[in-house]
Amino acid sequence: MHRILSAIAAAVLVGLTGCGYTFSGGGSVLPPDVKKVAIPLVDNSSTETGLSTVVTEALRDQFERFGVLTVVEESGDADAVLNARILRVQRATSAVAAQSDSQLQRDTTMTMAAELRRTDGPVLWRTTKLVVTKPVATSSDVVVTSSVDFAGGTIGAADLRGLDSREVSRGQDQEALASLAEQAARMIYDQAVAPDF
């Protein structure tokens, strides 16, 4: 029985790799000579101060994670350069309290453009509009303290009770921007580097 299961597993694996499928992080759609990438500080056209650094670090972390490409500091040492720009950050109310009309939740949306270009000129990949959105609680009454997002944050449930709505909203905004940076970095990596499935 063990041999039969092993044979089936091997056949499935051969079938998948024979059809051009690879496992995440194990390959690239980039030309084989593109091994090193430089990721300069992301341009920021939004009003969010400090967001350039957050997004740049998220991109560098994502591109280093799988070892497909090596992130280098200088574009002169790279085969390609990833340039990105934060076009805007928008917030829109998505839930209000029925009795008081006060805001309970809003969506934070970041829009970016990015381009991966060989250092000698040709564009390897480009997106003019990449959009990521994150819902944000604006009142301590609607923060789900058992959620994964809250558990991964910097404050605990006990701390939450001592904060007013403005402080909760500000803290949630910072967490949302960090999450949006990670989402955008993942999408850019997946589109520019990761193999198509």
The answer as to whether 103 is a domain residue is yes
> Where is average pLDDT lowest: 93-97, 127-131, 172-176, 185-189?
93-97
The answer as to whether 122 is a domain residue is yes
The answer as to whether 3 is a domain residue is no
The answer as to whether 24 is a domain residue is no
The answer as to whether 7 is a domain residue is no
Is 110:184 a contact under the CB 8 Å cutoff?
Answer: yes
Which residue range forms the structural domain that includes residue 67?
Answer: 29-192
| 130-186 per-position pLDDT tens digit | 999 998 766 544 444 444 454 455 555 555 455 445 554 566 678 889 999 999 999
Is 146:134 a contact under the CB 8 Å cutoff?
Answer: no
Measure the CA–CA gap between 21 and 27, rounded to whole angstroms.
10
The answer as to whether 6 is a domain residue is no
Residue by residue, what is the 3-state secondary structure of 68-112? CCEEECCHHHCCEEEEEEEEEEEEEEEEECCCCCCEEEEEEEEEE
- Looking only at Cα atoms, what is the longest distance across the chain? 67
Average pLDDT over residues 187-194: 94
Residue type, 44: N
DSSP 30: S
Total domain count, the chain: 1
Name 182's bridge partners.
Answer: none
Sign of CA dihedral 4, 10, 16, 19: negative
The answer as to whether 162 is a domain residue is yes
The answer as to whether 23 is a domain residue is no
Is 157:128 a contact under the CB 8 Å cutoff?
Answer: no
The winner for highest mean pLDDT among 6-10, 118-122, 173-177 is 118-122
Which CATH number characterizes residue 175's domain?
A: 3.30.160.150
Measure the CA–CA gap between 102 and 110, rounded to whole angstroms.
24
Measure the CA–CA gap between 57 and 42, rounded to whole angstroms.
9
